[in-house]
């Protein structure tokens, strides 16, 4: 079983990210390959990066960074739930990523993006590119939700359509497959060529 962290990236008041993150967390939790925990960046409330040392050194001064590091270190894999703000993903997620370095390495990542007509695909593309710099394996398979408010009911639950359900299932299958591969890579720290 893989330790899956679903990270909801939005922090502003009235945000819908947690609604979408709860939906994908529930879907993933029904899959016996994952032990799922949802992490809401709006609740963690990381300040803008304020560590004096570069993250690769892992010499963290602040308790919020130490807690964040431990939470990410224990993960085997991730699903990032991202809105699209100004044609990219939220600054809160970029900040959360940049707090750390080695903790992200050699882990697979799925992405659920949402927005208007673009379905958050520009945020998906930017995030996917940036995850590579953390030695992560971002998947091609993703869930992209266009005009997302139409899928949220009066109880603040996401009601997916058939395409979203199929995309989520495919992404989770690939996430399990890539997580198995990343585990092998992570365990072989010293590869001599």
Rounded Cα–Cα distance for residues 18 and 8 (Å): 6
Contact assessment for residue 115 and residue 84, using Cβ atoms and an 8 Å cutoff: yes
**21 pLDDT higher than 80:** yes
Exposure class string for 90-127: b at 16+ Cβ within 10 A, else e: bebbebbbebbbebbebbbbbbbbbbeebbbbbbbebb
**3-class secondary structure per residue, 52-88:** CCCHHHCCCCCHHHHHHHHHHHCCCEEEEEEECECCE
Q: Domain residues of the chain, as ranges?
A: 2-187
Q: Tens digit of pLDDT for each residue in 25-70?
A: 999 999 999 999 999 999 998 999 999 999 999 999 999 999 999 9
pLDDT > 90? residue 188:
no
Q: What percent of the chain has pLDDT over 90?
A: 95
Residue 182 CA to residue 105 CA, distance in Å, equals 9
State the angle between helix axes of 91-98 and 121-132 in degrees (0 to 180), rounded to the nearest 10: 10
Structure confidence by residue, pLDDT tens digits, 113-159: 999 999 999 999 999 999 999 999 999 999 999 999 999 999 999 99
The pLDDT tens digits of the residues spanning 155-170 come to 999 999 999 999 999 9
Specify the pLDDT at position 186.
85
The structure tokens 């949220």 sit at 152
**Which pair of tokens denotes residue 48?**
């803008």
CA 81-85-86 angle, to 5 degrees, is: 150
CATH superfamily of the domain spanning 2-187: Flavodoxin domain (3.40.50.360)
- Number of C-alpha atoms within 13 angstroms, CB side, residue 51? 23
Q: How far is CA 15 from CA 9, 21, 41, in A?
A: 10, 11, 11
3-state secondary structure of 30: coil
């Amino acid at each position: 079983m893989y330790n899956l962290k679903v990270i909801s990236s939005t922090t502003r008041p009235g945000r819908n990210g947690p609604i979408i993150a709860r939906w994908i967390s529930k879907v993933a939790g029904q899959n016996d390959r994952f032990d799922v925990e949802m992490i809401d960046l709006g609740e963690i409330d990381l300040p803008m990066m304020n560590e004096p040392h570069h993250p690769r050194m892992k010499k963290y001064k602040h308790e919020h960074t130490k807690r964040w590091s431990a939470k990410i270190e224990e993960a085997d894999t991730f699903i990032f739930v991202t809105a699209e703000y100004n044609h990219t993903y939220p600054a809160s997620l970029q900040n959360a990523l940049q707090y750390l370095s080695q903790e992200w390495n050699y882990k697979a990542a799925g992405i659920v993006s949402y927005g208007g007509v673009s379905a958050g695909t520009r945020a998906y593309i930017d995030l996917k590119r940036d995850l590579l710099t953390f030695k992560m394996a971002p998947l091609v398979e993703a869930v992209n939700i266009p005009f997302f408010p139409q899928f949220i009911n009066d109880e603040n639950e996401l009601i997916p359509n058939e395409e979203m359900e199929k995309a989520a299932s495919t992404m989770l299958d690939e996430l399990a497959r890539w997580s198995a591969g990343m585990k092998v890579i992570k365990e072989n720290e010293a590869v001599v060529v």
